[in-house]
Amino acid sequence: MKAISCKLLVIGAGPGGYVCATRAGQRGIDTVIVEAKKPGGTCLNIGCIPSKALIHAADEYHKVAQFAADDSPLGIHASAPRIDLAKTMVWKDEIVGRLNGDVAGLLKHAAVKVVEGWARFRDGKTVEVETETGLQVIHAEQVVIATGSRPVELAALPFGGRVISSTEALALRQVPRRMVVVGAGYIGLELGTAFAKMEAHVTIVEALPRILPQYDTALTRPVEMRLRQLGVDILTGAKATGLTAAGDGLKIETSDGQSKVLAADNILVAVGRTPFTAGWGLEAIDLDLDGPFLRIDERCRTSMRGIYAIGDVTGEPMLAHRASAQGEMVARIIAGEKRSWDSMCIPTICFTDPEIVVAGLLPEAAKATGIDIRIGMSPFQANGRALTLDQDAGFIRVVARADNHLILGIQGVGAGIAELSATFSTAIEMGARLEDITAIIHAHPTQSETMKEAARSALNHSLDPSRQNRLSQIHPQSTQ
């Protein structure tokens, strides 16, 4: 097969890679992108999008099931609900397929050449790709590595049979009667919650003392309460040690040294993700590493001239929107613009029930800087919109400097709060102060009003001062 040359080669068509290639193509840069599977990467095909589709389907089924149980406070009644998971998966796959086509269309319209196959470096300027029609050699002036990440596999629980990763969980055609989830991070809890709502008996096994350890307990407490309401068993301080001899159960060891066996139809291992650095010839170019990740600077440049890296392969936070932002920045740099990474906050979202959003600094991280801070909080129990949605668990919290009231962080936990993540981030990126938030007229009735009340609380200007005293007793870690 004849070798091809280009100015820019992007390896990986995930949310970082395809954005980078599209933006470069739109600027007239001769661009080639290589992808071994479908465009869109993990996020679109086996991650963010299909998981949110499954979560939505589970939510809808659970609502109907509650109505059938005749315990709906809304006075709605239904009968004999059931979920056909195979049909749900067809609907999910149709969404993924539509978005695959959208990504392919973006690349085509930007005149980006797509090469399907597995890429491997020969040297810093040359890549060979195993395609269906043979070996394709590509010479490039500059290269962007956007290979992403993959699920972490435990030595004691290799994937296969009943032991599945999130990829297989998102392809199940029947709801398992019993599911054990190893790992209480966001992936495990999102999927565990969804299957619990579809009436699987779910058990969470977490080696650390509590769920979602990256967040403080004030944020995770409503999630844990909801999990228990759904009948989920939560075993913290418990370590998975392997399968039973028959392969039909998980052996665990509890914090007090006891050994137990948990029967399971499926064991979902969700203990994190690791960068995809193997199999594409890293040894041929000898890039510097930062732990397991590729080391990059503020312009996403690696240790080799002309080679950039973006997305999960470069470190935390391993988020699609971070990868996309890096991809766009690198495309601009290659087009000749002066750009560097200067983002003040990258919001993180946990799509549990209720959802968690974190933008900027958590209270403990803010205190660790040595700056005196103010913390304000307002609960959704005092929000009219949340009450009318029958979804009043959780709160919004604002963290600000005590001296000039500059907002350092905004967090919240509540139903549908993911849609406020951009509002939180915008306030931080634009250098808003508490007074700026309280001066904004928030539409009523909306959940966003809770953000304004949290800012008022931080200024000790709450409409209901007695509420703050009550909150400090209920959520001592969340208030000033």
Q: Which two tokens stand for residue 9?
A: 């080669």
* Alpha carbon distance, N-terminus to C-terminus of the chain: 67
**What letters, b where the CB count within 10 A reaches 16 and e where it falls short, cover 241-268?**
eebeeeeebbbbeeeeeeeeebebbbbb
Catalytic residue among 109, 444, 461, 475: 444
Judge whether 321 counts as a catalytic residue: no
- Name 460's Cβ contacts closer than 8 Å, sequence gap at least 6: 468
Region at 440 (left for phi over 0; alpha for psi -120 to 50; beta for the rest): beta
Rounded distance between C-alpha atoms, residue 272 and residue 156, angstroms: 15
Q: Tell me how long the chain is.
A: 480
Residue written as token pair 């097969």: 1
Q: Say which DSSP state 260 is in.
A: E
Give which of 239, 260, 42, 235 is closest to 157, Cα–Cα.
Answer: 239
- Name 84's Cβ contacts closer than 8 Å, sequence gap at least 6: none
Three-class secondary structure of residue 190 per DSSP: helix
**Full DSSP string of 419-473:** GGHHHHHHHHHTT-BHHHHHHS---SS-TTHHHHHHHHHHTT--SSHHHHHHHHH
Beta strand ranges found along 207-256 (DSSP E): 233-236, 239-243, 249-253
Give which of 1, 78, 41 is closest to 323, Cα–Cα.
Answer: 41
**Full DSSP string of 262-316:** EE-SEEEE-S-EEE--SSS-HHHH---EETTEEP--TT-B-SSTTEEE-GGGG-S
Catalytic residues: 444
